[in-house]
């Protein structure tokens, strides 16, 4: 090998895989980004069939992302428990059926629609352009396709890398993010239920008469 090439190979920096580079970028940025307070009534929709088949019937079921083989947008399978809700009722419908148009056409169908009061003290707000800039992200990246990504490309989608980094930082108890199916107005929220503490960060489901039906943490 010519001397010039030997010198080149000795001095070239090692190539860092894109997923490792993204993780390093997120880990560094998340130590500086402040969490925001989130206190709003959110919405969740489940099919009546799934609700009736559940035993026990838990509307605030948070183990889906952790136990499912496919995970969720910010939840790699087997990584962390999480409760996904929509802030607006229309957004919940769009997320359930696939779009605002499909939800409106369905008339609600055979579904159970319920409200939950969410109180979190440290949310990573991905609807804030300044937060996206600090993370080196764009709205398109946050809404990018994730289902089947790992099987197709052999690497994790960017949102999985971010979700794992946010949870591992222990600095946030949720992620607020723009809805892809009710864009640009819709918002969704991932609650890290393992980070909740009663009285300071919690999710509460009330019955029609105002009594508590379910609560996380219990």
Position 73 scores a pLDDT of 94
The pLDDT mean for the chain works out to 87
Residue 209 pLDDT greater than 70, yes or no: yes
Residue 17: pLDDT band with limits 50, 70, 90: low
Distance between CA atoms of 57 and 55, rounded to whole angstroms?
5
Task: Please answer whether residues 189 and 102 qualify as being in contact, where contact means their C-beta atoms are separated by less than 8 angstroms.
Answer: no
CA angle 73, 75, 79 (to 5 degrees): 165
Position 108 scores a pLDDT of 73
Query: What confidence tens digit (pLDDT) does each residue in 24-72 have?
Result: 999 999 999 999 999 999 999 988 888 887 777 788 888 888 888 889 9
Question: Does 7 or 97 have the greater pLDDT score?
Answer: 97
195: DSSP letter: G
Query: What confidence tens digit (pLDDT) does each residue in 62-85 have?
Result: 888 888 888 999 999 999 999 999
Residue 18 pLDDT greater than 70, yes or no: no
The percent of residues above 70 in pLDDT, for the chain, comes to: 90
Structure tokens at 110: 């055979």
Pairing of the two strands 202-206 and 174-178:
unpaired
Q: What is the value of pTM for the model shown? A: 0.87
Residue 1 pLDDT greater than 70, yes or no: no
The percent of residues above 90 in pLDDT, for the chain, comes to: 60
Position 7 scores a pLDDT of 42
């Amino acid at each position: 090998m010519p001397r010039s090439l030997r010198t080149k190979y000795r001095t070239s920096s090692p190539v860092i895989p894109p997923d490792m580079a993204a993780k390093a970028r997120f880990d560094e940025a998340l130590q500086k980004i402040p969490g925001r307070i989130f206190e709003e009534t959110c919405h969740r929709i489940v099919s009546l069939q799934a609700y009736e088949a559940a035993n026990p019937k838990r509307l605030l079921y948070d183990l889906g992302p952790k136990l499912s083989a496919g995970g969720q947008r910010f939840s790699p399978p087997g990584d962390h428990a999480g409760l996904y809700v929509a802030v607006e009722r229309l957004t919940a419908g769009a997320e359930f059926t696939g779009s605002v148009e499909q939800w409106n056409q369905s008339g609600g169908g055979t579904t159970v629609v319920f409200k939950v009061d969410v109180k979190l003290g440290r949310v990573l707000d991905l609807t804030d352009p300044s937060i996206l800039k600090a993370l080196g992200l764009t709205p398109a990246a946050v809404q990018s396709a994730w289902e089947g990504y790992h099987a197709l490309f052999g690497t994790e989608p960017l949102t999985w890398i971010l979700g794992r980094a946010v949870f591992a930082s222990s600095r946030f108890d949720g992620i607020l993010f723009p809805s892809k199916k009710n864009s640009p107005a819709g918002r969704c929220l991932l609650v890290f239920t393992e980070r909740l503490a009663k009285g300071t960060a919690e999710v509460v489901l009330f019955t029609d008469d105002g009594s508590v039906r379910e609560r996380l943490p219990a």
